Amino acid sequence: QPPRPCEDYWGEWKHCRGLRHAFHHYYAHGELPACGRWREDYEACRAWERLRAAAAQEALCKSERARVMESQKYAPVWTLRKSPPPDWYLPLDQDKPN
C-alpha cells in the first residue's frame, strides 16, 4: 500500500499548477514551482496500486524519503530556552514613558 492515497499526489499536483500558488511561489522564490515531481509520484502511486510494480514502489518510497529529509534540513530560527528568564515574574515596563 502506498504511503499516501494517490489522490493526495494528484491534489498536490493540481495545487502546485494553480495560478495563485505559482504567483506566490514566484514572488517568494523568484522562480516558478517545479510540479513535475508530484505528477511522477502520482503516476508511480497508480502503477503501484494497479500493477504492483516494484520499480514504482521504490521510486515512490525514494521520493517520500527525499521529501521528508528536505523538510528536516532547516534549523529552527530561534534558539530554544532551557529555563525562563530570571525576572519573569516582574511586571512589564509598559506604563513608563521612554
What gap in Å lies between CA 36 and CA 16, rounded to an integer?
Answer: 9
pTM: predicted TM-score of the whole model, two decimal places: 0.71
**58 pLDDT exceeds 90?**
yes
Cell 513608563 locates to: 96
- The mean of the pLDDT values for the chain is 90
Residue (of 46, 36, 31, 43) closest to 13 by Cα position: 36
**37 pLDDT exceeds 90?**
yes
What gap in Å lies between CA 5 and CA 7, rounded to an integer?
Answer: 5
Task: Decide: helix, strand or coil at residue 62.
Answer: helix
What gap in Å lies between CA 54 and CA 44, rounded to an integer?
Answer: 10
Q: Which residues contact 38 (CB under 8 A, 6 or more apart)?
A: 9, 12, 13, 16
Q: Quick one: pLDDT at residue 70?
A: 87
Q: Quick one: pLDDT at residue 97?
A: 66
> Where in the chain are the domains?
6-69
What gap in Å lies between CA 46 and CA 43, rounded to an integer?
Answer: 5
Q: In this predicted model, what pLDDT tens digit does every residue of 60-98 receive, in sequence order?
A: 999 999 999 988 887 778 888 899 988 888 888 776 666
